[in-house]
Amino acid sequence: MTVLRLAMPTPLRSLFDYLPPAGIELAQLQPGQRVSATFGHRELCGVLVEVLENAAPSEYEIKAAGAILDTSPLLTPGLQQLCLWAADYYQHPIGEVMTAAFPTRLRKGGQHQSLAIKAWQLTTHGKGLAEGALARSPRQAEAIAALRRDGPTSQGDLAGAGIKRPALKALEDKALVETCELNPVPREGRARPGLTLNQQQSQALSAIAAAGDNFTCHLLEGVTGSGKTEVYLQMIAACLARGKQALVLIPEIGLTPQTVARFEQRFDAELAVLHSGLGEAQRNRAWEAARTGIAHIVIGTRSAIFTPLAQPGLIIVDEEHDGSFKQQDGFRYSARDVAVKRGQLEACPVVLGSATPSLESLHNALQGRYHHHRLTERAGGSKLPKLSILDVRKQPLQAGMSEGLLNAVEDTLSRGEQSLLFLNRRGFAPTLQCHDCGWIADCQHCDARLTMHRRQRRLRCHHCGHNQPIPSACPECRSEQLLTLGVGTEQAEGVLREKFPMTALYRVDSDSMQGRDAMQALVDQVNGGEPCILLGTQMLTKGHHFPTVTLVGVIDMDALLFSGDFRGEERAAQLLTQVAGRAGRADRPGQVIVQTHHPDHPGLQGALTKDFHNQAIEILADRTARSLPPAGNMALLRSDCTDAAQGEQFLRDLRLAAQAHMPTGVTIIGPLPAPMQRRAGRFRAQMLVHGKGRREVQQATRRLISLAQQQKSGRNLNWSVDIDPQDMF
């Protein structure tokens, strides 16, 4: 008998067998089609993974599927394989992985809409119409003549030629014309001329071009402003010339409107842009354009890595070190790592680019697994900025800023230039405390303090979203002596406005940058070139090109220096390099001032004496010595539930049950409470699987998952698996 093996959108880690729907022939079935089927008591939309033609009869009753929803598969074979791989590698339920590859509407079983446009054509009767038959209706005669001349024509084109709907409607009533659909014809994508590349850029370009239509993986490590984007643009031009599509992943589209604009300017081609801000119809259209090959270039954030492509020819991951490429909940995948696998499965080159590559990618490049191309100088002749440390110990500070820093801002402004001040904390102050009794405003749902937002007059939890009014007196002792501790962007903004009342000041954080076009408006204003001050969080560090910024100030470096995570040092070096890299990108030289209470901190001294590459090599040596990623491998099992003890007990039971079957070389650490144990009212615990070899860690994790599925203590709690975890929180 014939059995359909379906991936169903359920949290169960298996495929499910169904009989073909009644009346369906074998020839109509193809993997990648969506199929509706009853699951439990619900009708779900699954994806056909395999057709088993001569399956042995099962001892269980197999139900028939409801309907085949697509006449041909919507997922390309390459993408189906990619999903299967990802479900296996990340040990995540296959149904959830497969359905993640579709836009929401299709995921829910909605009808597939093609890009075909509504058009009109002559009916047989219309074709046979005698000349002069419509002499008394000149508009209708004109419409007939146009359709006779041009064949089926879109409604838009007809309207453009002055042929209006009423004439067409009248002809339709006479059965002389009828509506039809026109599929868009892929046009040729072209690049406009680019810049003349320097030697390092052209070496990188030709090495990647030499790969042609084969899988190779390249790390393009180029200092900030070295012209990596120019290399991408020219690689894409070559890809389009081969008649192939390029997929470009970038961290956050809303934050870097300039990137998309640069692509639009360079190419005379169809661009499909995919990001979370799109409406459903726009998303469907972009997805469909990518899938059918109408779009030459697909630009998107993390989830765009699962967009089907008709003719994949190149995959680029820009700012490949960026944390946003890792999905932190549900299906926890790394879009960067999935991109490399996709290149392998679909035989196309993959380019990972960054000024501050992740140690994972650097390790692969140094081991010879990736081709390594370095751009060590800024393009266009500007120099990398000079870094200096400002020791703020014993110095008076205003909203965290020393006199030295404020003077430097003033000097910069008086030269007609712009300053960028980086403070990675939004709100007014991260802590509110009672001066008389020591009470601290904590979140009632999390192990976290509430951040004071003065303008909104609220205390907010940045972890669960809880918020409440700012109390006028201490809830414990009724004292009115409430003090804020620490500084956020809102507070620094106040001081800067007072100091520089005549200067434009832009605060850039997730509170101030609401709405889709906020960042674009900011970029336009800043690039007007007037002297100004930019003050903001991480949002300001990502890939922006502000040519008139010459001073970068890091207000609180100490917040970056001390981190409990083993990746803390790497992240601090990346962030500092990226923010510093915003200075002096055009003809005027840049300087970077880093405020700290710990001027001798090795991480900071490293940044002064070495470039990111050499710092990274040192950090890598340390990781290797400790068998930490990328030299070792990790998986994290997490539990969360409303009872603190229950989660830990579940993990402990699991560990006990698994102990005897662990592959050699794998250690289990924990269970331990998560660094933030209580979040949004739930208690979180975790257990780390650590080992040198990837295969052993995978195997151990697989074992733990299968035990977890049987474990009684796991029934009333949530547990999840994170392969290659990025954050230990």
Ligand X SMILES: Nc1ncnc2c1ncn2[C@@H]1O[C@H](COP(=O)(O)OP(=O)(O)OP(=O)(O)O)[C@@H](O)[C@H]1O
Q: Which residues are annotated as a binding site?
A: 434, 437, 443, 446, 461, 464, 474, 477
Question: How many CB atoms lie under 10 A from the CB of residue 465?
Answer: 11
The entry of Zn ion, ligand X, none near residue 446 (CB within 5 to 8 angstroms by kind) is Zn ion
The candidate with the shortest Cα–Cα distance to 636, out of 708, 565, 686, is: 686
Per CB under 5 A, the segment of 344-352, 402-410, 464-472, 570-578 that binds Zn ion is 464-472
Question: How many CB atoms lie under 10 A from the CB of residue 614?
Answer: 11
CB-based contacts of 452, cutoff 8 Å, min separation 6: 427, 428, 429, 430, 431, 432, 441, 459, 470, 484, 488
The entry of ligand X, Zn ion, none near residue 197 (CB within 5 to 8 angstroms by kind) is ligand X
The entry of Zn ion, ligand X, none near residue 543 (CB within 5 to 8 angstroms by kind) is ligand X
State the Cα–Cα distance between residues 262 and 252, nearest whole angstrom. Answer: 15
Interface with Zn ion, residue 561, by CB under 5 A = no
* Distances 397 to 274, 400, 558, 576 between C-alpha atoms, Å: 44, 5, 15, 21
The entry of ligand X, Zn ion, none near residue 107 (CB within 5 to 8 angstroms by kind) is none
Residue closer to ligand X, measured from CB, 232 or 683: 232
Interface with Zn ion, residue 445, by CB under 5 A = yes
Interface with Zn ion, residue 336, by CB under 5 A = no
The entry of Zn ion, ligand X, none near residue 355 (CB within 5 to 8 angstroms by kind) is ligand X
State the Cα–Cα distance between residues 280 and 373, nearest whole angstrom. Answer: 39
Contact (CB, 8 A) for 92 and 66: no
* Size of residue set near Zn ion by CB under 5 A: 7
The entry of ligand X, Zn ion, none near residue 224 (CB within 5 to 8 angstroms by kind) is ligand X
CB closest to ligand X, residue no: 227
The entry of Zn ion, ligand X, none near residue 581 (CB within 5 to 8 angstroms by kind) is ligand X
- Helix residue spans in 271-320 (DSSP H): 280-292
* Distances 427 to 162, 327, 456, 485, 572 between C-alpha atoms, Å: 57, 26, 9, 12, 21
Contact (CB, 8 A) for 41 and 31: no
State the Cα–Cα distance between residues 553 and 405, nearest whole angstrom. Answer: 7
Residue closer to ligand X, measured from CB, 259 or 419: 259
37, 141, 446, 535: which one contacts Zn ion (CB under 5 A)? 446
Residue closer to ligand X, measured from CB, 201 or 646: 201
Tokens for 713, please give them: 């203590």
Q: What is the closest distance, in whole angstroms, from the C-beta atom of residue 230 to ligand X in the complex?
A: 4
Q: What is the closest distance, in whole angstroms, from the C-beta atom of residue 251 to ligand X in the complex?
A: 11
* Distances 151 to 133, 146, 154, 161 between C-alpha atoms, Å: 19, 8, 10, 14
By CB under 6 A, name the binding residues for ligand X: 195-198, 201, 222, 224-230, 355, 379-380, 543, 545, 581
CB closest to Zn ion, residue no: 461
Interface with Zn ion, residue 461, by CB under 5 A = yes
Q: Is 47 exposed, middle or buried (0-12, 13-18, 19+ CB in 10 A)?
A: buried
Q: What is the closest distance, in whole angstroms, from the C-beta atom of residue 629 to ligand X in the complex?
A: 24
Tokens for 670, please give them: 């924990």
State the Cα–Cα distance between residues 657 and 305, nearest whole angstrom. Answer: 37
The per-type count for the chain, helices as H runs and strands as E runs, is 22, 34
Interface with Zn ion, residue 441, by CB under 5 A = no
The entry of Zn ion, ligand X, none near residue 140 (CB within 5 to 8 angstroms by kind) is none
Per CB under 5 A, the segment of 397-405, 466-474, 640-648, 696-704 that binds Zn ion is 466-474
Per CB under 5 A, the segment of 14-22, 176-184, 399-407, 443-451 that binds Zn ion is 443-451
State the Cα–Cα distance between residues 702 and 725, nearest whole angstrom. Answer: 16
Q: What is the closest distance, in whole angstroms, from the C-beta atom of residue 449 to Zn ion in the complex?
A: 9
Residue closer to Zn ion, measured from CB, 451 or 591: 451
Q: What is the closest distance, in whole angstroms, from the C-beta atom of residue 221 to ligand X in the complex?
A: 10
DSSP string of 5-71? EEE-SSS-SS-EEEBPPTT--GGG--TT-EEEEEETTEEEEEEEEEEETTPPPPSSPPPBPSEE--S
Q: What is the closest distance, in whole angstroms, from the C-beta atom of residue 201 to ligand X in the complex?
A: 6
Q: What is the closest distance, in whole angstroms, from the C-beta atom of residue 581 to ligand X in the complex?
A: 5
State the Cα–Cα distance between residues 636 and 675, nearest whole angstrom. Answer: 13
Q: What is the closest distance, in whole angstroms, from the C-beta atom of residue 232 to ligand X in the complex?
A: 8
Instruction: Label the pairing between strands 401-402 and 397-398.
Output: antiparallel
The candidate with the shortest Cα–Cα distance to 513, out of 522, 503, 504, 524, is: 522
The entry of Zn ion, ligand X, none near residue 198 (CB within 5 to 8 angstroms by kind) is ligand X
Per CB under 5 A, the segment of 50-58, 77-85, 427-435, 442-450 that binds Zn ion is 442-450
Residues that constitute the known binding site for Zn(2+): 434, 437, 443, 446, 461, 464, 474, 477
Instruction: Please name every residue paired with 273 in a beta bridge, in sequence order, or none if there are none.
Output: 299
The entry of Zn ion, ligand X, none near residue 374 (CB within 5 to 8 angstroms by kind) is none
Q: What is the closest distance, in whole angstroms, from the C-beta atom of residue 360 to Zn ion in the complex?
A: 32
Q: What is the closest distance, in whole angstroms, from the C-beta atom of residue 451 to Zn ion in the complex?
A: 10
Strand, coil or helix: what is 408? helix
Interface with Zn ion, residue 464, by CB under 5 A = yes
Binding residues for Zn ion, per CB under 5 A?
A: 443, 445-446, 461, 463-464, 466
